[in-house]
Structure 1
Amino acid sequence: MFYGEFHHTIDEKGRLIMPAKYREQLGASFFITKDLWNKEEERCLFVYPQSEFNELSQKLHKLSNSSKEARFLNRYFFSSVQDTAVDKQGRVLLTTELREHACINREVVLVGVDTHIEIWDLDKWEAYNASDTLEMDKLAESLGELGI
């Protein structure tokens, strides 16, 4: 399970130090890709360990020929996948394409979200958390219905 929030910077070569806490769970190799929803206010990168990526891949594969939209989603998602690992200094290279997609400049926030990690540009993360787009009352009701 991934949780917590870590602030880091991207170096001039596009490398990011992956927190030691996350490196242990990610394993020897892992995957970085665009977010699935492609909503402007939520653009970030997703980081998956091998097992979670395989599970997601199998689910998306089931959709692959069901509709034009499903085929688009598969192309959108899989075309940007970066199979990677950390170097000896615990850094990972983020491709230019991925950094541009998430509007990542220099300051980033890594956020643990249970089964994966999200990498956000710091300014986008702060704007997202300051927005009032979420209706917390409705969310609280839903959680109550689940017994939480």
Structure 2
Amino acid sequence: MFMGEFLHSIDTKGRVIVPSKFRDELGASFVVTRGLDKCLFAYPMDEWKNLEEKLKKLPLTKKDARAFTRFFFSGAVECEVDKQGRINIPQSLRKYAGLDKECNVIGVSNRIEFWASDSWEDYVTDSEESFAELAENLMDFDI
């Protein structure tokens, strides 16, 4: 399980450190793709394969299903951590997430997320105000 929050710089070549705490669980290679809320999602290969199988079951005849799978899979890249513990995030993904100088890397159960620091701060501020309401709404799911 991934959890925690880490702040790292992005170098001029688009590389960011993957926290050592996450590297073992991610494995030798993993997938990074566009996520929701203008961040990037990174999945270990086994989680990616599980997600891929679920998304394959979406009906091709549904416009929303086609749009989501296109968006999600077209941005996906396989990454490997270099000897310094960094990955190179492609320019198109950095642009999508607004990743420029600083990046928050957070653990979210079965995935990690890469956020532009200012976007993450805004998200946390907005979420703090509605956290109790979110929790109340999720109680319907036996959490």
Q: TM-score, normalised by structure 2?
A: 0.91
1:141 to partner: Cα distance:
2.5
SS in 2 for 1:131: helix
- Runs (5+) with no aligned partner, structure 2: none
For residue 5 of structure 1, give the secondary structure of its aligned residue in structure 2. strand
User: In the superposition, relative to structure 1, how do residues 139 and 63 fare at CA in structure 2: closer, same or farther (>3 Å)?
Assistant: same
Q: CA deviation at 1:9?
A: 0.4
Match of 2:43? 48
* Cα distance, 1:146–1:20 mapped onto 2, change above 3 Å: same
Among 86, 95, 102, the alignment partner of 1:100 is 95
1:11 has 2:11 as partner: yes
The structure-2 alpha-carbon separation of the partners of 1:64 and 1:86, relative to structure 1 and needing over 3 Å to count, comes to farther
Partner of 1:118: 113
- Structure 2 CA distance for partners of 1:146 and 1:97, relative to 1, 3 Å: closer
**TM-superposition CA deviations, 1:68-118 (whole Å, max 9, x none):** 211111111100101111111111000000000001111010010000001
Change (3 A) 1:135 1:49: same
**Which deviates more, 48-57 or 133-142?**
133-142
Structure 1: which 5+ residue stretches go unaligned? none
State the 1:138 CA deviation. 2.7
Farther off after superposition, 22-31 or 57-66: 57-66
More strand by share: 2
Partner SS state of residue 72, structure 1: helix
Who is 2:33 aligned against? 33
Q: 1:83 aligns with which of 78, 82, 92?
A: 78
RMSD over aligned Cα, in angstroms?
Answer: 1.9
Q: Could you tell me the TM-score, scaled by structure 1's length?
A: 0.89
